[in-house]
Amino acid sequence: MGIKLDGKKVAQKYQEEIRRFIKLKKDKGQKVPGMANILVGNDSGSIYYVNNQNKLCNKLGIDVRSIFLEENIHEDNLMNIIRKLNCDDEIDGIILQLPLPKHLNEAKITSEISYKKDIDGLSNLSTGKFYKKEKCHMPCTPKGIINLIKSTEFEIEGKYAVVIGRSNIVGKPIAQLLLNENATVTICHSKTKNLKQICKNADILVCAAGKPKFITKEYIKEGAFVIDVGTTMVDGKLTGDVCFEEVIEKASFVTPVPGGVGAMTTTMLMKNLCEELK
């Protein structure tokens, strides 16, 4: 039987650091950090994430401005909103919730975000610096995943890691971070053949497929470290990609949904925001 890795507990350490930083700002009479989150449409996972961002901002004393937009918004209108936020002195960080509706050009729009305010590492400049291992804001979910793994005694170096999902916000960057830690990495996706066999060889399995309860114990190597990034609403309940009750019987560590990666992701967003102001 493995260990349920409590992301909320790990996140609290980082939240205390952020709280102390903001208190110091207030004590000096300086402006507290301010961020804007933009949500286009009604994706259930994004709504859940925005709500958690707002709760944490209120808890830590961060000013937050939420901008909710209709799913059919014109691309130019969305880009104009981002440009105004880029010039707004009250806003230190901007996050645009992904995925965007299909009629919007994600690459074009995310790169409209000012590099200095790009706290989720989505712009072209941020992405380029990230893959060249230069100083930048790391994408929040991958940053949270690496810090979760490092919070245990599990050794990443030399391990075989499998990532299910090839998105620009989770799959590709977490693969890069695992490579940076000297793991050997395979990225799988919807066209991958023999997925189950590949996963059964993984010492570290990161599941970001967006398919509820997709990963059962048949996919798991004994003693593997399993990270569940899935966030899908099923019958009003947030559900991950992993069958937690089955998988924890074979794995060494498993992150739950909710209470796992999500808690770290939101906290890493706030950490990125505050790092820009140090």
Binding-site residues for NADP(+), in ranges, read 165-167, 231
Distance of alpha carbon 156 from alpha carbon 159, whole angstroms:
6
- Please state the residue numbers annotated as binding site: 165-167, 231
Amino acid at 231: T
Query: Mapping DSSP to helix (H, G, I), strand (E, B) and coil, where does residue 125 land?
Result: helix
Q: How many CB atoms lie within 10 A of CB 224?
A: 27
d(CA 66, CA 62): 13
Q: 215 near 247, Cβ under 8 Å?
A: yes
Residue in 181, 175, 193, 135 with CA at minimum distance from that of residue 154? 181
| Bridge partners, residue 37, by sequence | 66, 95
Dihedral sign for Cα atoms in the order 18, 111, 262, 47: positive
Which candidate, 171, 43, 177, places its Cα nearest to that of 98? 43
Q: Under 8 Å CB-to-CB from 267, ≥6 apart: which residues?
A: 11, 14, 15, 18, 56, 144
d(CA 80, CA 51): 24
233 and 51 in contact (C-beta within 8 Å)?
Answer: no
Asked if 39 and 46 count as a contact pair (C-beta separation under 8 A), the reply is yes
Residue with tokens 């909103």: 81
Conformation bin of residue 182: beta by default, left when phi > 0, alpha when psi is -120 to 50: left
Q: Which residues pair with 118 in a beta bridge?
A: 94
